[in-house]
Amino acid sequence: MTFSTRHFLITLPFLALAGCQTATTTANTPNQSQATTKAATQAATTVAATVAPARTAPTPRPTARTAEEFNTTTPEQRSEAAKPTATGERKLGNTIASLGDPTQPGFWIKTPLVTDPGKGRIRNPANGRSARVELVPLAGPASGGSQVSLPALQLIGVSLTDLPSIEVFQE
């Protein structure tokens, strides 16, 4: 018996027990579970209503393996996100950008430069290309790096393995 098989056989009963505990807890508190589900649904609906259509996209399929498969935005959404902002904006600062979770669709940046979610734009000073994005707070010092969605990095012409300095603006 190999180490991985032995490890699996030892872990299996604990996983089964954890599943039973979750089912029992949910069964004993249906009102609390329903209230939590209702609150989460309302919060998701509110967020979806405030997100511009150009910044949202369907979740990639679980079988996605390439950048093209993870980028579920449409050409129209990419075109809309590439347009300059119509309203005034202010520069929040520069940040080092890295690829965020590729399974999270749409155009967004998680950055310590903001404390509240909002709308904004990121710009690659190396080539001048920009993308309208959702600004998502990220814990850490303002000098810390930021995580950027795959479609947004592609739109501003950044290699997914680079760590460029980009400019962040808030609408």
Please state the pTM of the whole predicted model: 0.63
The 10s digit of each residue's pLDDT in 9-53 is 444 444 444 444 433 334 444 444 444 334 433 433 333 333 343
61 occurs within a structural domain: no
Core vs surface per residue 68-93: b (16+ CB within 10 A) or e: eebbbbeeebbebbeeeeeeeeeebe
Q: Do β-strands 108-111 and 130-137 pair in parallel, antiparallel, or remain unpaired?
A: parallel
Q: What is the mean pLDDT of residues 118-122?
A: 96
User: Residue 76 is part of a domain; what is its CATH number?
Assistant: 2.40.40.10
66's tokens? 């390439």
State whether 104 and 155 are in the same domain.
yes
Q: Please count the other Cβ atoms lying within 10 Å of the Cβ belonging to residue 166.
A: 23
25 occurs within a structural domain: yes
State whether 16 and 86 are in the same domain.
no
State whether 72 and 132 are in the same domain.
yes
- Is-contact 166 97, C-beta < 8 A? yes
State whether 81 and 122 are in the same domain.
yes
Looking at the 3D structure of the chain, how many domains does it have? 2
Which residues span the domain enclosing 43? 3-50
The 10s digit of each residue's pLDDT in 90-111 is 999 999 999 999 999 999 999 9
State whether 109 and 165 are in the same domain.
yes
